[in-house]
Amino acid sequence: MRTMLKSKLHRARVTQSNIDYEGSISIDKGLMEAADILPYEQVEVLNVNNAARFTTYAIEGERDSGVICLNGAAARLADKGDVVIILTYHQVPEEKTKDYHPRLVYVDAQNRIAQTNGVPTEKDWTTELLSKV
């Protein structure tokens, strides 16, 4: 098994912070779905502005709001407007790594999806879900 990048939200902008919340990062629900990030899933956050890197967990923000909100202690690691990269990883069997591709979601300055790579279409998601039943 190898630890591989599962998904990436690339160059999202921090929209707010909440130091008094108990912890985590709130992410627009639509962005979470596009990047295959589940509520409470571990994420790594890289701050492009100050080079901070930290691990926390994702919680759902309002769909189509563009929210990227750092909560709790993480709120001290980025300012509103900072550009962040949000990553998830998972274990992949060695034999599947040759043709492996993560989900990459690129966003614009308002955290709207500008481009995707490796993200299945809605029809593909349905097929993928049904195959697991």
Q: 53-62, 90-99, 122-131 — which is least confidently predicted?
A: 122-131
Contact in structure between 43 and 26 (CB atoms under 8 Å): no
Supply the pLDDT for residue 126.
Answer: 38
Residue with tokens 């630890």: 3
Supply the pLDDT for residue 130.
Answer: 42
**Mean pLDDT for the chain overall:** 90
Residue 57 is among the residues annotated as catalytic for this protein: yes
Predicted model pTM: 0.87
User: Helix, strand, or coil here: 120?
Assistant: coil
At residue 36, does pLDDT exceed 90? yes
C-alpha pair distances (Å), 119 with each of 19, 64, 68, 82: 33, 18, 20, 25
The residue ranking higher by pLDDT, 131 or 63, is 63
Q: Are strands 53-61 and 83-92 parallel, antiparallel or unpaired?
A: unpaired
Residue 100 is among the residues annotated as catalytic for this protein: no
Length reported for the chain: 133
Catalytic option among 7, 17, 21, 24: 24
Catalytic option among 57, 65, 89, 106: 57
Closest CA to 59 of 78, 85, 41, 86: 41
Residue with tokens 């599947």: 96
Write down the architecture of domain 2-131 according to CATH: Beta Barrel (2.40)
Supply the pLDDT for residue 120.
Answer: 58
Report the pLDDT averaged over residues 44-71. Answer: 97
At residue 128, does pLDDT exceed 90? no
DSSP 62: P
